[in-house]
Amino acid sequence: MAWPLSFPYPHAKDGYWEPVTSTLNWCEEDYYATPYAAEIVNTLTNLMFMWLGVQGILSCRRNGHDQIFSVALLGYLVVGTGSFFFHSTLKCKSYPMQLVDELSMIYTTCLMAYALFSYSRSTTVRIWLGISLASLAVFITLYYHYLQDPIFHQNAYALLTTVVVLRSMYTMEVTLRPKWRHSTEQDRLERQKKGLPVPTKERQHYENVRDIKMLKTMWFMVTYGLSMFLGGFLIWNLDNIFCSEIRQMRRKIGLPWGLLLEGHGWWHVMTGIGAYLYIVWGIWLRHCLNNRQDEYHLRWARFWHIPDVVRVSDLTQTKKST
């Protein structure tokens, strides 16, 4: 029996892009809403990827963030765009777009790995690191194309993401935690004995309080982002395992409530948010590594808002104008 304020699912229509020729098809039924999109929810949820990608690139240009993050956000935008066209058509001719959708954020994660591991390295190390990560991305793409086994790319993505996130956590702690970056009173006295530059007690106290506060927010962002990733991954897997049962449930409760049971769509939304949070975290961490914490501010009033790292000077001007 359908839920209140709902209506039955319509019968499948003749699709504009038919026949479906892709090697994979997800649990969402094809062409039930419009003949112009094979999987309407899986298509439209990519609009969030695309919107966040554009917003992030504009923010990088506006606030002077390092160029590598603009490239990473461009990759993020390409992922959403490719997935949009693939889910719209489900055609073999869009197989490159299918690969983009399935490989998901591997390319962007490789770019973030470069941003992390290339920091303060020599030109030679940066070149070799770039070649190595590009080779890894190509290998994962080609080997997955050969295997066509989703388990391979899921494991590769999980391993790569784990390495980058753990290393970022370590860098964050060493950079900002006072006891690790030699900002205690004892360290200050030791530097004074050696004739090294020593900040005043007031300045040291200010930096310690500032960085501890930043660490709390950063750890919340990390936890929130990982929760979105893992939650989306869980929902997607449940969608794959119990597809027939979920389709029956959708039909019983009707539209629009049945759309809430589109697991792959939730995967797009949750991984899109998680990946964007990670890129913003990387931008903020890079400014901390450059010792520019006082020049930038994380604008993130509520956890359901979209975070943005902005120049303090621009933020001050905006407040004055309002």
- Residues flagged as binding site for Zn(2+): 87, 264, 268
Angle at 65 between CA 109 and CA 219, to 5 degrees: 60
DSSP string, 213-238: HHHHHHHHHHHHHHHHHHHHHHHHHH
Angle at 232 between CA 88 and CA 18, to 5 degrees: 15
CA–CA separation, 272 vs 233, rounded Å?
12
153, 106 contact by CB (below 8 A):
yes
- Residues flagged as binding site for Ca(2+): 26, 28, 39
Q: Which residue has the tokens 């509520």?
A: 302
Run of H or E residues at 296: strand 296-299
75, 107 contact by CB (below 8 A):
yes
- Residues flagged as binding site: 26, 28, 39, 87, 264, 268
- Of 116, 154, 131, the closest CA to residue 278 belongs to 116
- What phi and psi, each to the nearest 5 degrees, are found at residue 32? -85, -20
DSSP 8-state secondary structure symbol assigned to residue 92: G
Residue 158 structure tokens = 């999980």
- What phi and psi, each to the nearest 5 degrees, are found at residue 302? -135, 155
- Of 9, 83, 77, 12, the closest CA to residue 45 belongs to 83
